[in-house]
Amino acid sequence: MRKFKFRLAFSAYTTLIGALSAVHESDLMLPLFHQMEELGYEVDAHLFTTLIRVGKVDIAWKFFHEMKADGLAPDDVTYTSMIGVLCKANRLDEAVELYEQMATIGKFHVYMLIKP
């Protein structure tokens, strides 16, 4: 893309990142995300959630915390995606901790839905 000196639209980047996320291709997805940042595109909560869903727990945590640092509030889907990634990685203590945090920040309806 840079080779041809044109700029992809925000929607083109998010579509590509979403497709790569769906097939767990973080090695291809992350450079696209960094290009977006370099070009000055503002990343939204939906895109952060897409990045979290890739399934690599360290990458997911990085984006979860980056999202919050950027002033974006994780929504129900973000929390449940992060909890799912943690559970799949067998990091159950962290998953339970995040699950319990949901109740303290007003995510009661999600908390009640997944409470055993």
* Domain total in the chain: 1
Query: Would 84 be classed as within a structural domain?
Result: yes
> Residue 109 pLDDT more than 60?
no
Nearest one of 51, 93, 90 to 72, comparing CA atoms: 51
Query: Would 2 be classed as within a structural domain?
Result: no
Query: Would 52 be classed as within a structural domain?
Result: yes
pLDDT tens, position by position, 45-102: 999 999 998 878 998 999 999 999 999 988 888 988 899 899 989 999 999 899 888 8
Q: pTM for the full model? A: 0.79
Give helix then strand counts, H and E, for the chain.
7, 0
Query: Would 3 be classed as within a structural domain?
Result: no
Q: Angle between the 76-88 and 45-52 helix axes, to the nearest 10 degrees? A: 10
> Residue 110 pLDDT more than 60?
no
pLDDT tens, position by position, 30-52: 899 999 989 899 889 999 999 99
- Whichever domain contains 26, its CATH number is 1.25.40.10
Query: Would 64 be classed as within a structural domain?
Result: yes
Provide the residue range defining the domain that includes 68.
10-114
